[in-house]
A and B are shown apart, each in its own frame.
Chain A
Amino acid sequence: MRCRALKTMSLIAAAAVVLTACSPDDPGDASKTLKVAYQKTDSFTALDTMLHAAKQEFEAANQGVSVELQPIQANDDDYGTKLALALRSPSTAPDVFYEDTFKVRSDVDAGYLLKLDSHLQGWEDWDKFDDGAKAAGRADDGGTYAVPLGTDTRAIWYNKKVFTNAGISVPWEPRSWQDILDAARKIKANDPGVVPFNMYAGKGTGEGTVMQGFYELLYGTGAELYDEEAGKWVVGSAGFTDSLAFLKTLYDEQLAVSPAEALDANIWKKVFGEWFPNAKLGATVEGSYAPSFWQEGGSYEWPGYEQDMGVAPFPTRDGQDPGAVSMSGGWTLALGASTKDPDLAFSFLTTALNEKNSLAFTVESSQIAVRQDVAADPGYLGGHPFVKEVSELVSVTRYRPATSDYPRISAAVQEATEAVITGSRSPEEAAADYDAAVTEIVGSDKTIRK
């Protein structure tokens, strides 16, 4: 009997331990700890390397402070989700974290990010950042909440071997959508076993569908997704329908991959790892970071890619001004609004983003520099042979309208492309579906007909 009572008591004690373990940590730690959350994947280790370097540097300079690196192994979408979940509670929120530029505005609205203006004033390096890149960390109230790490642009990457075999002279410089179709048809006629010109579409590739595909088309027609001045989403635009029609042509004439392949979320791995190196793909729209996959130490090492691959700006529809379109994203470092020691956290941020660390990160991950001193460094310019070409696209590049409605709108665009390439809707029908979806998401007073 006593034995049972003991067991019961021990169970209760165990439960009590479990329950108290759930309550927030005791803040009374003698030594200070900074939690740093960031993304790390098999193919993206550049940030991990950089933060380890920054940790060493910072801990050496600040005795008694330990930096706890918390890598999150996930793709971009899942990383965003995990980070947002961690930020919801002050007890799990990191002090410093890696933040996607297109989440900055909505996370500021949510109160997750610390306003940095007063800290930035005292940081002399801040003047060395590009104004365009600085804007990516600014919220609706005009304050700056995040410091950019790097940016990217999108362009057409093409395999010179495939193009020369089809009798197209390189360097290839398409001036209009028609030029793209002409080249793709030539490649197809020459070798039906090659995918001539792929553009991502459908929900499988997520943001890749819109950033490396649909938006290049849409903005090249002169249309817009969002009217920044009016603060309204554009519906009923002819450019939207035209862009879908272009995708339909590509997929219907089998100039792109089959719809089934397009909807596989892993297709980009085949693009970088199989099709380009084996000359099975003519061209595709991809980010300026493409060489990071092929260079030494990348996930799909390809000695000689410098000779085989070429890069060209994505043209506007009929070659109208400014002649080319590109999209930019990019990531930042931000501080948690609930950090206990903002000065220390900011100090870590400045260490992580100093010239040396920025340069190493920018080169290793094939980013486009946002610091002028990095951009002028020979180490950056010699990083990979396409740095100059993709960096020049900054002059025509666009950013996503990153309001908190954006993820849903983006999903509606992806759905429209999926309906068109699978043939379940015509471009006109899919555009009408999109208009209805947007109106449903933001309300008719937040849409504008153009």
Chain B
Amino acid sequence: MPVPAAARQLIRYLPVLPAVLLLLVFLAGPVFWAFNASFTNAGLTGRSARDPSWVGLDNYQRLLADPVFPLSLLLTVMFVAGSAVLGQNLLGLVLALLMRRARPAVSAVVGTTVVAAWVLPEIVAAFAAYAYFSGDGTLNQLLRVLGLGGQDWLYAFPMMAIMLANVWRGTAFSMLVYRAALNDVPAEVTEAAQMDGAHGWQRLAFITLPMIRGSITTNLMLVTLQTLAVFTLVWVMTAGGPANASTTLPVLAYLEAFKFGDIGYGTAVASVLILIGAAFGLVYIRLLKDSRS
């Protein structure tokens, strides 16, 4: 029996229906809920928990007047730029490039070491980093062996410590992406350039990098969004302190929503975070399109 064209069209979409439903329920739902809650005075406890009322843009106005917010925004940008875009991304690329030339044994050892940090669950990695940087932690013990005075790193340079920890933890991902991308660069092209007299640096800048542009952009997008959402690492290492010196936006949102029970205000912070992530995503998608065309 022939199926009518319209029905066939519908049936073609049937297989993606579960995925779309799941996305709607578990992704779009919470995002919508967060946006919605950010316009109310919903609370975890107190009168506003029972019947939250619509407060319009009040939470966002408060956000603009809050002295912690600009600091938090700046710290988040620093964190993403320093530890994701520069740290993980560049280090991953360099490692991948070097590993191509290294002996297989060296390459295997380095690869395993780097990936080990990535394999650890985030909470374990966070405790490891805390144990490393804290006052009587591993780093200071090593320094003492060398006869150097230690510092309380989490207190004196909290953001630096967290950024290093994030680079340590996340570089493996970039490295793996780049290793895969570099394997796809045909040897003939590089050899041809070599025949034309291009030096190492030139081959990298004019042949290799342009050929893996797509992977660079994809990798940048993924590590940016991952780092933007990092919470456990910061929370375990410093909990945002001292004196808000490491309160990134996710930490701020958590503090406001759960420690102070102000869900409306907390979700306003989270909404800003979603918007920042969306903006980055759009930029990268645009770049990705350009690199394809």
Contact = CB atoms under 8 A, between A and B. Distances in A.
Interface stretch (A226-234, A261-269, A342-350): A261-269
8 contacts: A12-B18, A18-B22, A84-B45, A109-B50, A110-B43, A264-B154, A404-B46, A407-B259
Contacts of A415: 243
Nearest to B156: A260
B241 interface: yes
Contact of B44 (A19, A85, A258, A259): A85
Interface stretch (A145-153, A216-224, A418-426): A418-426
B15 A260 contact: no
Contacts of B242: 202-204, 259-260, 263, 418, 422
Contacts of B22: 15, 18
Given A11-B18, A14-B18, A111-B49, A265 B239 contact: yes
Contacts of B45: 84, 103, 106-107, 109-110, 112, 404
Given A8-B15, A404-B43, A264 B134 contact: yes
B149 to A, nearest CB: 14
B155 interface: yes
A178 interface: no
A58 to B, nearest CB: 29
Interface residues of A, number: 39
A339 to B, nearest CB: 17
B25 interface: yes
Contacts of A18: 22
Given A204-B241, A265-B239, A81 B15 contact: no
Is the contact region of chain A dominated by helix, strand, or loop, or is it mixed? helix
Contact of A407 (B25, B154, B261): B261
A424 B243 contact: yes
Contacts of B15: 4, 8, 11
B18 A264 contact: no
Interface string B178-210: 000000000000000000000000000000000
A119 interface: no
A106 to B, nearest CB: 4
Contacts of A258: 152
B135 interface: yes
Interface in B1-41: 14-15, 17-18, 21-22, 25
A258 B150 CA distance: 14
A81 B258 contact: yes
A120 interface: no
Contacts of A264: 134-135, 154
B46 A106 contact: yes
A84 B261 CA distance: 9
B260 interface: yes
B261 A19 contact: no
Given A8-B18, A110-B45, A422-B243, 7 more contacts: A15-B21, A81-B44, A84-B261, A88-B44, A109-B46, A110-B43, A407-B259
A408 interface: yes
A65 interface: no
Given A203-B241, A264-B134, A404 B47 contact: yes
Contacts of B47: 109-110, 404
A396 interface: no
B251 to A, nearest CB: 12
Contact of A88 (B49, B134, B152, B154): B49
Nearest to A88: B49
B85 to A, nearest CB: 30
7 tightest A-B CB contacts, nearest first: A404-B46, A110-B49, A260-B155, A260-B152, A106-B46, A15-B18, A111-B50
Given A19-B25, A260-B152, A408 B135 contact: no
A141 interface: no
Nearest to A415: B243
Interface string A265-281: 10000000000000000
B43 to A, nearest CB: 7
A42 interface: no
A177 to B, nearest CB: 26
Contacts of A419: 243
Contacts of A107: 45
B243 A418 contact: yes
A212 B262 CA distance: 26
A407 B21 CA distance: 39
A32 to B, nearest CB: 27
A402 B278 CA distance: 40
A11 to B, nearest CB: 4
B40 to A, nearest CB: 14
Interface string A103-138: 100110111100000000000000000000000000
B44 A84 contact: yes
Nearest to B25: A19
Interface in A220-261: 258-261
A106 B154 CA distance: 35
A77 interface: yes
Interface in B231-272: 239, 241-243, 258-262
